[in-house]
Amino acid sequence: MSEVVKIKLNNIVPNKSQPRLDFYDETIESLAESIKENGLLQPISVRKQGSKYELIAGERRYRACLLLKRKEIEAIVYDIDDEQSATLSLIENLQREDLNAIEEALAMQRIMRQEDITQVELAERLGYKQSTVANKLRLLKLPEYVQNAIGHRTICERQARALLKVPEDKIEEVFLTIANRGYTVAKSEEYINSILEKNKHQKGLSGNAQIGINTIKQAFEICKKSGLDADLQLRETSDNIKITIKINK
């Protein structure tokens, strides 16, 4: 393992591939208090970039030390390239569970584009299954307001994946119901499955029923033209379509 050294904070620059998007002040302040009381338990990771050092991992610790107005910070200096730096930064955050699902997905997408690699290749780098990477990336297909909710942990990743099954014109309604009622994962999935079943039933019924309705109407019109004194009434409910034909004597 590389040696731990002390580096001046003003010689450290942010990592352009930092996967974490949000740094909440309260968590930084809390970390700063912990460092003040107990010291820095884990050094940050950096790499040499000209006369400066670029952060690889540990930006929250770096910011906390800035808040404490410290001059130096313990660090491990790695000799790695851009590709390795971006991957290591993402892995470190994933292992520490510092990222939300959208930050993970955006970081994965960025690495794939920068390095021109496939989902399979990225999964191999991260030690993930390809399906795990694919599921993360699919979250970026959700509307922005849903992605923001994931980022603020209003809903979790499993709830978001369930929302991907919902028809586009119903996502907002379903999302608001889940978020406003504080549904659990199980309740959210149950609710979404009930909506999908209902839509499936309605679509199947309307397609088959329309053929039958048109046939009955055509036959009824033929009878009417032949002089039959009759009346046709059609009533649709959530469960069925009721057709009533009254023939006057």
Query: Could you identify the residue written with the tokens 């309605």?
Result: 202
Structure-token pair, residue 29: 């302040």
> What is the C-alpha separation between 123 and 208, in angstroms, rounded?
45
Torsion of CA 219, 234, 206, 169, to 10 degrees: 140
DSSP 99: S
Of the residues 59, 103, 104, 157, only one is catalytic, namely 59
- Interacting residues of 205 by C-beta distance below 8 A, sequence separation 6+: 241
The answer to whether residue 104 is catalytic is no
> What is the C-alpha separation between 159 and 172, in angstroms, rounded?
13
Sign of the alpha-carbon torsion through 37, 39, 41, 44 = positive
Active site residues: 59
